[in-house]
Amino acid sequence: MTDLLDIRGLNLSTLGAPLVKDLSLSIAPGERLGLIGESGSGKSLTAMAATGLLPRSIEKSGSVLLGGTQVIGAADGVLDRLRGTVAAFVFQEPLTALDPLMRLGRQVAEPLKRRARRDGQDLSGTALDRAVTELLEQVALPQPERIARSYPHEISGGQRQRVAIAMALACRPQLLIADEPTTALDVTTQAEIVKLLDGLVRERNMALLFISHDLPVVAGIVDRVIVLRRGVTVEQGPVGTVFSAPRHDYTRSLVFAARSLDRALGGTA
In this structure, what DSSP letter does residue 153 have? G
The model's pTM is 0.91
Q: What is the dihedral of CA 140, 115, 131, 90, to 10 degrees?
A: 20
3-state secondary structure of 188: helix
Q: Which CATH superfamily is domain 5-264 in?
A: P-loop containing nucleotide triphosphate hydrolases (3.40.50.300)
Q: Identify the CA nearest to 220 among candidates 237, 196, 256.
A: 196
What are the mean pLDDT values of the chain's consecutive 10-residue runs (269 residues total)?
92 94 96 93 94 93 96 93 91 85 96 89 93 95 96 94 93 93 82 91 94 88 95 95 93 85 55
Sequence spans of domains, the chain:
5-264
Q: How far is CA 15 from CA 42, 56, 57, 71, 129, in A?
A: 16, 12, 8, 22, 47
- Please write the tens of the pLDDT for every residue from 45-76: 999 999 999 999 999 999 999 999 999 999 99
pLDDT tens for 198-213 read 999 999 999 999 999 8
